[in-house]
Structure 1
Amino acid sequence: MPTMADVARSAGVSVATVSHVLNGTRPVLPHTRQAVLDAVDELGYTPNTLARSLVTSRTRSIGLAVSAISNPYFTEILQGVEAAAREEGYGLLIADPHDDPVHEQRVVRLLHERRVDGVIVAPSAHPEDLVAYLTRHAVPTVLLDRAVDTTAGTTPRFDQVCAENADPTARLVTHLAELGHRRIGLVAGLPGLSTTGERINGYRYGLAAAGLPYDERLVVHGDSDAGGAERATARLLSLAAPPTALVSANNAMTIGALRTLRSRGLTVPGDIALCCFDDFAWADLFSPRLTAVAQPSRELGATAVRVLLERLAEPERPARTLRLPCSFVHRTSCGCPEEPEKGTVA
């Protein structure tokens, strides 16, 4: 295989100049740069990233471990991560932990063994083994979307990038209460996830702000997927006094809730109002159009990359948790006839 020295001889320049052209580490005269690129093309030179990583201890690659990659929310996060990594000259290795704590640790270990410079992980509901592995091996890490309490005892904290969850959920509840609803049900996510707990807390805050009592029978877990939400919504509708409005805590569960409502012959918002956490591309194509909280998914992914690169540049800097604001997207599934302008939820 041609080497960097071969490229330098062909272009009539030094090896250092070839390195500067290929790595962008120093300005090079345009005609010299073109000579190097022509030599690279003519010889078919490919940089030896393995050899370079042995010298620099960096592979310029990032590992990303997120479950439900097919979910539009995580797909957009992935797009944000990929775009930000590419802009900084980093490659991306992707794995799906399937929200399984055992598989989660396995895929993160595989990413680490492939010498990624750092990892971005959306942790499972039981990330104890993951946290222990990352801590033991001092892997530069950003926890994404789902926060983990790593402050207890001597366990070090990790950088975390998440959306606001409680206040936006409370906003959905208070909006429904303003429309006259007094029994508002919540289809909550998978128990143990921080997003699930935070959105339940937001639901309770919203009820309290509206002067409504909390009834634990109106909170059911849809386990963050459509099938679970179908069953959870059926349980709510089977109550002696069923809710007149629903809040669904993620986009997949919104689909499940709508399936159950349709199977029961119920219309939205005529028979029951519906608001959801997570906006998605076709939410305004439903009939009725879905009132939702929109998460800044691509920005979450891009921010996670930025925080990870800052961690790599300053390994000793204090860990931090960043919370990005969501937006309230007002449509018609809540029972409102019009669509006011989009507003930001702090």
Structure 2
Amino acid sequence: MTNIRDLAREAEVSVTTVSRVLNDHPYVAEDKRRAVQDAITKLGYIRNQTAVQLSTGQTKTIGVMLPYVDHPYHAAILHGIAQCAFEEGYRFLTWQTNYIASHEQTVLQALAQREVDGLIVVSHSLPVDEILRYEQYGPIVFCEHHEDVSSVYINHYTAFQSGLKTLQSFGHTQIGICLGRPDSTNSRARKQAYQDTVSPEDTSWIYQQALTIEDGADIARQWSNQSCRPSALLTASDHVAAGIILELRKQGYRIPEDLAVIGFDGSDLAVVLNLTTVAVPYETIGRQAFFIAISDNWRDHPQIEIPTALLSGLTAVKVKE
């Protein structure tokens, strides 16, 4: 098997120079760098990654814990992480947990066993304190807000409140909301925004477990069967909004005349449906989380809030007087 001494002989340089080229050291003469690279190609040198890990104490790999890889919200964050990993010469390992606690424990064990240098938690079911027990093994960055942890997040309270106030400004007083997992940090913030802005006690127009297009269609059928129903809905995601809109149009209802709908994400689906939506730069969240995970200041527990923006479409317009 070819080693760095073989490369040094072939390139007619020192072993130190070969090591510097392999580690992308900036201070190497261009002709020597080229000679080493030519030797690598000629001799078919393959770097021993295990040896690199033993010598540096780093895997150059970041772990990503997320419940579903095919959910648009999670996938967009993952895309931002992947872009940065490629740019910075890192690998990333993705674990889909389906919100199963034992699966999340497996991911944490990978950090403890030094399979990854750090961990980005996109969403989770385990208590935060239990996850943070593993911070002794490396950086853990959350993509949602928690006190005294490294996190990159949007303020779901203010983001949801902006959508609710938009519906109120359009003349709606009978407003409902859709939530994902009712006990999640994000859903609790969204529900609180609803109670503070629209209705402090009434929960009859709070639709739960809204995660997919199919869930949106189920909510639409539930809405159409209610004797007293809201005139506007702020949904948990653009996909939920799409399910509501498509199902109600199938039943002959008009959007927004019969029901105004605002989505949440700012996805490509919102563009296709000309959907009014609260746009979230999820890729930015992923990128910022990655840079915290590989930085030296992660122990300071930096927290970065990412702003959202309301994008106007045709699914929520002013009520005609």
Alignment of 1:71-82 (within 5 A): 71-82=71-82
Please state whether the residue corresponding to 1:34 is helix, strand or coil.
Answer: helix
**Aligned residue number for residue 243 of structure 1:** 230
Shift of 1:175: 1.2
State the Cα deviation string for residues 21-59 of structure 1 (Å, max 9, x = none).
121223111111110100011001111111111121111
The counterpart of 2:282, out of the listed 286, 297, 303, is: 297
**Aligned residue number for residue 36 of structure 2:** 36
Please state whether the residue corresponding to 1:333 is helix, strand or coil.
Answer: coil
Distance 2:6 2:129 in 1: 46
Distance 1:143 1:100 in 2: 19
**Aligned residue number for residue 153 of structure 1:** none
Q: Which runs of 5+ in 2 are unaligned?
A: none
- Percent identity between matched residues is 28
Distance 2:137 2:221 in 1: 44
Distance 1:192 1:260 in 2: 27
The counterpart of 1:217, out of the listed 191, 194, 204, is: 204
Alignment of 1:179-198 (within 5 A): 179-198=170-189
Shift of 1:247: 0.7
Asked if 2 retains the 8 angstrom alpha-carbon contact of 1:222 and 1:231, the reply is: no
What TM-score do you get using the length of structure 1 for normalisation?
0.85
Distance 1:73 1:123 in 2: 10
Alignment of 1:2-13 (within 5 A): 2-13=2-13
Asked if 1 retains the 8 angstrom alpha-carbon contact of 2:169 and 2:318, the reply is: no
Change (3 A) 1:137 1:176: closer
The counterpart of 1:269, out of the listed 256, 268, 285, is: 256
Asked if 1 retains the 8 angstrom alpha-carbon contact of 2:117 and 2:139, the reply is: no
Distance 2:176 2:222 in 1: 11
**Aligned residue number for residue 319 of structure 1:** 301
Asked if 2 retains the 8 angstrom alpha-carbon contact of 1:160 and 1:322, the reply is: yes
Verify: 1:178 aligned to 2:178, yes or no.
Answer: no
Distance 2:31 2:116 in 1: 35
Distance 1:251 1:131 in 2: 31
**Aligned residue number for residue 144 of structure 2:** 146
**Aligned residue number for residue 332 of structure 1:** 314
Distance 2:144 2:51 in 1: 36
What TM-score do you get using the length of structure 2 for normalisation?
0.91
Verify: 1:203 aligned to 2:178, yes or no.
Answer: no
Shift of 1:237: 3.6
Distance 2:251 2:33 in 1: 68
Amino acid at match of 1:144: F
State the Cα deviation string for residues 221-247 of structure 1 (Å, max 9, x = none).
134233333333433443331000111
Change (3 A) 1:180 1:193: same
Asked if 2 retains the 8 angstrom alpha-carbon contact of 1:188 and 1:249, the reply is: yes
Shift of 1:136: 4.4
Alignment of 1:105-124 (within 5 A): 105-110=105-110, 112-113=112-113, 115-124=115-124
Asked if 2 retains the 8 angstrom alpha-carbon contact of 1:248 and 1:257, the reply is: no
State the superposition RMSD in angstroms.
Answer: 2.2
Asked if 2 retains the 8 angstrom alpha-carbon contact of 1:246 and 1:273, the reply is: yes
Distance 1:336 1:141 in 2: 47
Distance 1:122 1:297 in 2: 11
Amino acid at match of 1:139: Y
Q: Report the count of equivalent residues.
A: 319
Asked if 2 retains the 8 angstrom alpha-carbon contact of 1:170 and 1:204, the reply is: no
Distance 1:136 1:282 in 2: 38
The counterpart of 1:281, out of the listed 268, 278, 281, is: 268
Please state whether the residue corresponding to 1:302 is helix, strand or coil.
Answer: helix
Amino acid at match of 2:89: G
**Aligned residue number for residue 160 of structure 1:** 151
Distance 1:242 1:272 in 2: 10
Change (3 A) 1:112 1:260: farther
The counterpart of 1:306, out of the listed 262, 285, 291, is: 291
**Aligned residue number for residue 55 of structure 1:** 55
Please state whether the residue corresponding to 2:136 is helix, strand or coil.
Answer: coil
